[in-house]
Structure 1
Amino acid sequence: MKTIPISSEYIKLDQFLKLADCVSTGGMAKALLQEEAVKVNGEPENRRGRKLYPGDTITVEDCGTFQVVRGEE
């Protein structure tokens, strides 16, 4: 499991997917979410604006499993 540090209170799912190098554009993130290829804390998620907080676990089909952690402020 890879960790993705964030410096803010939360990160939106589409931004997270780009930060984790699973997609390179917002359009790709939208398509990936429509395919139901993303799970947040074990539950399927298709909302690009879903807020992710430190401790959340995200699984992306064909990309890996990640955990959001608190980064440097």
Structure 2
Amino acid sequence: MSQHIDFPLEGDYVELNQLLKLTGLCDSGGAGKAIVASGAVTVDGAVELRKTCKVRAGQAVALAGHVIHVTAG
């Protein structure tokens, strides 16, 4: 069973590694980069390896049973 997290976006986008940090799924942006590089993160169902991928409103990010829904702030 997955845990859903709603993340209201404050600008046009948030970098993927920062999103993981801001939602509490990792301790720092550096840890977020390592998690993304490991291939453990998907964006809209596809594995994303770009650490600073721009995530925009309407997209869904998944990691280890957590699904982050990015919404327009």
Identify whether the pair has TM-score above 0.5, normalized to the shorter chain.
yes
Q: Which 5+ residue runs of structure 1 have no aligned equivalent?
A: none
Equivalent residue number for residue 38 of structure 2: 35
Equivalent runs, 1:40-51 vs 2, <5 Å: 40-51=43-54
Q: Which 5+ residue runs of structure 2 have no aligned equivalent?
A: none
Is 1:70 the counterpart of 2:51 in the alignment?
no
- TM-score (norm. length: structure 1): 0.87
Q: Deviations over 1:16-71 (max 9, x none)?
A: 11111111112211211122110000000111110011000000125x01110011
Structure 1 runs of 4+ aligned residues shifted over 4 Å read: none
2:37·2:51 contact (CA, 8 Å) conserved in 1?
A: no
d(CA) in 1 for partners of 2:37, 2:15: 16
2:13·2:57 contact (CA, 8 Å) conserved in 1?
A: yes
Q: Tell me whether 53-62 or 37-46 shows the greater mean CA deviation.
A: 53-62
**RMSD of equivalent CA atoms:** 1.1
Taking only the aligned residue pairs, the percentage that are identical comes to 30
